[in-house]
Amino acid sequence: MEEKILSIQTAQNELLEKAKKDGVKTAWDRKVDLKAPCGFGVAGVCCRICAMGPCRVSPVPGKGADRGICGATADVIVARNFARMVAGGAAAHSDHGRSIVLTLLNASKDGDFKVKDEKKLMKVAKRLGVETEGRDIYDIAHDTAKAGLEQFSKQIGTLTLPPTVPEKRAEVWNKLGVMPRNIDRDIVSIMHSTHIGCAADAESLIKMSMRAAIADGWGGSYLATEFSDIMFETPKEIDTEANLGVLQGNSVNVVLHGHEPTLSEMIILASEDPELIELAKAQGADGINLVGMCCTANEATMRHGLKLAGNFLQQELAVVTGAVEAVVVDVQCIMPALAQLSKNYHTKFITTSPKAEITGSTHIEFDEEHAYESAKKILKEAIMNFKNRDNSKVYIPDVKSKAVVGYSTESIVSALDKVTNSNIGVAGTVKPLADCIVSGVLRGAAGVVGCNNPKTPHDNGHVEIIKNLIANDVIVVATGCAAQAAAKAGLLQKEARNYAGAGLKKVCELVDIPPVLHMGSCVDISRILELVGTVANHLGVDISDLPVVGVAPEWMSEKAVSIGTYVVSSGIDTWLGVVPPVTGGPEVVDILTNRMEDMVGAKFFIETDPKKASEQMVERIEEKRKRIGI
Ligand code: XCC
Ligand code: SF4
pLDDT tens track for 343-360: 999 999 999 999 999 999
Q: Which ligand is nearest to the CA of 198?
A: 2
Evaluate whether 244-393 and 404-627 have a shared fold: yes
Quote the CA–CA distance of 554 and 610 in Å, as a whole number. Answer: 10
pLDDT for residue 421 is more than 90: no
For domain 74-232, the CATH class is mainly alpha
| Mean pLDDT on 620-625 | 97
For domain 244-393, the CATH class is alpha beta
The residue ranges of DSSP E strands in 313-439, in sequence order, are 326-329, 348-351, 362-363, 401-405
| Mean pLDDT on 425-439 | 87
The fold for domain 404-627 equals Rossmann fold (3.40.50)
Ligand 2 atom at shortest distance from the alpha carbon of 54: 6
Asked if residue 182 lies in contact with residue 152, where contact means CB atoms within 8 angstroms, the answer is yes
pLDDT for residue 494 is more than 70: yes
Host H or E run for residue 501: none
In sequence order, the β-bridge partners of residue 404 are 239
Residue 427: per-residue pLDDT: 76
Cα of 589 vs centre of ligand 2, distance in Å, is 21
Cα of 316 vs centre of ligand 1, distance in Å, is 15
Residue 67: per-residue pLDDT: 97
Residue 438: per-residue pLDDT: 95
Residue 8 or 77, more confident: 77
Quote the CA–CA distance of 414 and 411 in Å, as a whole number. Answer: 5
Q: Which ligand is nearest to the CA of 77?
A: 2
pLDDT for residue 3 is more than 70: no
| Mean pLDDT on 383-412 | 97
Grade residue 205 by pLDDT with cuts at 50, 70 and 90.
Answer: very high
Ligand 2 atom at shortest distance from the alpha carbon of 71: 2
Quote the CA–CA distance of 630 and 614 in Å, as a whole number. Answer: 21
How do the domains of the chain map onto residue ranges? 74-232, 244-393, 404-627
Residue 503: per-residue pLDDT: 97
In sequence order, the β-bridge partners of residue 7 are 458
- For ligand 1, atom 3, the nearest C-alpha belongs to 451
Nearest to 395 by CA among 10, 98, 99, 110: 10
Cα of 587 vs centre of ligand 2, distance in Å, is 19
pLDDT for residue 424 is more than 60: no
Indicate the pairing of strand 238-242 with strand 252-257. unpaired
Residue 420: per-residue pLDDT: 64
DSSP string, 388-412: G--GGG-------EEEEE---HHHH
| Mean pLDDT on 291-306 | 98
| Mean pLDDT on 481-499 | 98
Ligand 2 atom at shortest distance from the alpha carbon of 53: 6
User: pLDDT exceeding 70 applies to what percent of the chain?
Assistant: 98
ipTM score above 0.90:
yes
Quote the CA–CA distance of 430 and 534 in Å, as a whole number. Answer: 7
**If DSSP states are collapsed to H, E and C, what string results for 71-113?**
CCEHHHHHHHHHHHHHHHHHHHHHHHHHHHHHHHHCCCCCCCC
| Mean pLDDT on 99-120 | 98
Can you tell me whether residue 327 is helix, strand or coil? Answer: strand
Residues in contact with ligand 2 by the CB-under-6-Å rule are 47-50, 52-55, 68-70, 72, 77, 196
Asked if residue 563 lies in contact with residue 458, where contact means CB atoms within 8 angstroms, the answer is no
Residue 426: per-residue pLDDT: 66
Instruction: Work out the angle at residue 532's Cα, subtended by the Cα atoms of residues 529 and 536, and round it to the nearest 5 degrees.
Output: 130
Q: Which ligand is nearest to the CA of 56?
A: 2
pLDDT for residue 2 is more than 80: no
